[in-house]
Amino acid sequence: MFKFIQNDTEKPYYLVGRDWGALNKALKEYRQAKDDVNEQKMAQYATKIRNLQKKLGLKQSQFS
């Protein structure tokens, strides 16, 4: 069984789950903006996605 152990951080009330939820939401919003061909929102969400990926220690996505 998988068990996630969160490392101690400088912020004791920081929860990784919130960032994962925000990342999931940003990805959905990016896809919606891409479907609507709204380049301004696509750029906004791409920046947000990359920041969240960096914060979570994930490989950052490349956007066109």
Report the predicted TM-score, pTM, of the whole model to 2 decimal places: 0.76
Residue pair 26/49 in contact (Cβ under 8 Å)? The answer is yes
| pLDDT cut 90: percent of the chain above it | 58
Q: Which residues of the chain have pLDDT under 50?
A: none
- Helix residue ranges per DSSP H, 1-64: 16-35, 39-56
Domain ranges of the chain: 16-56
Total number of residues shown for the chain: 64
